[in-house]
Amino acid sequence: GAGVSQSPSNKVTEKGKDVELRCDPISGHTALYWYRQRLGQGLEFLIYFQGNSAPDKSGLPSDRFSAERTGESVSTLTIQRTQQEDSAVYLCASSFGQGRGEQYFGPGTRLTVT
Amino acid sequence: GQQVMQIPQYQHVQEGEDFTTYCNSSTTLSNIQWYKQRPGGHPVFLIQLVKSGEVKKQKRLTFQFGEAKKNSSLHITATQTTDVGTYFCAPSGSARQLTFGSGTQLTVLP
């Protein structure tokens, strides 16, 4: 594809419900990142996938958060039992790999937990 | 990931004035990237610096990487309203993933 795509673009959910966010990286990019950005704040690293290596999950804020990636393609970020503090924009980025150039960001998914 | 401090957090300038944001690390970095995020948008890559003392220019933007590879700066000459946004540094060290700085939010007053 032309760039990183994410879906949905907006998601409103009730507290306690589970949500699944999707990221389609640029074809051929082996690295995929998830970030969280609260309103007016910086980028908070969540998880990093690199090829077939074990993902770096060091940024996941709690066990309610999990992510999967199928090979070097689509990734899904799942948030279980959503809380109001989960409200944020969730950004996905892909690159050729750590230290190998720029990260290309998707437009993000704006999650609102009511 | 690398821990970095980015300053200032906010900067308001009059159009035409210069602007500089700094990114400082307590440890040596392998390389550093800079990104710009327009209001309501997503981060967009600007540049990557790799060499000690490296200086790169993109029109009115000048990027520097310190001799010790522990700090970096982005300088904008004669700001324009199109420069509005948040500028993030993203250093890379031994960790597999980048750590983004907290960003400098630039406001340009017409």
Contact state of A103 with B102 under an 8 Å Cβ cutoff: no
Is B102 in CB contact (< 8 Å) with chain A? Answer: yes
**Whole-number pLDDT of residue A70:** 86
**Whole-number pLDDT of residue B2:** 57
> Which of chain A's residues have a Cβ under 8 Å away from the Cβ of B98?
33, 45, 98, 103
**Model confidence pLDDT, tens digit, residues B47-93:** 999 999 999 999 999 999 999 999 999 999 999 999 999 999 998 75
Residue % of chain B over a pLDDT of 90: 77
Is B107 in CB contact (< 8 Å) with chain A? Answer: no
Residue type, B42: H
**Whole-number pLDDT of residue B104:** 97
Collapsing DSSP to helix, strand or coil, A64 comes out as: coil
Residue % of chain B over a pLDDT of 70: 93
| pLDDT band at residue A99 using 50, 70 and 90 as cut-offs | low
Contact state of B99 with A104 under an 8 Å Cβ cutoff: no
**Model confidence pLDDT, tens digit, residues A29-78:** 989 999 999 988 889 999 999 888 889 899 999 999 999 998 888 999 99
- On the question of pLDDT at A82 being above 80, the answer is yes
Asked if residue A46 lies in contact with residue A67, where contact means CB atoms within 8 angstroms, the answer is: yes
Q: In whole angstroms, how far apart are CA A101 and each of A51, A71, B50, B56?
A: 16, 21, 10, 16
**Whole-number pLDDT of residue A1:** 52
* Nearest residue in B to A98, CA atom: B96
Chain A interface mutation, best of B30, B96, B99, highest count of A Cβ atoms under 10 Å:
B96
Asked if residue A92 lies in contact with residue A33, where contact means CB atoms within 8 angstroms, the answer is: yes
Write the residue in B44, B92, B96 that is nearest to A50 by C-beta.
B96
Contact state of A103 with B100 under an 8 Å Cβ cutoff: no
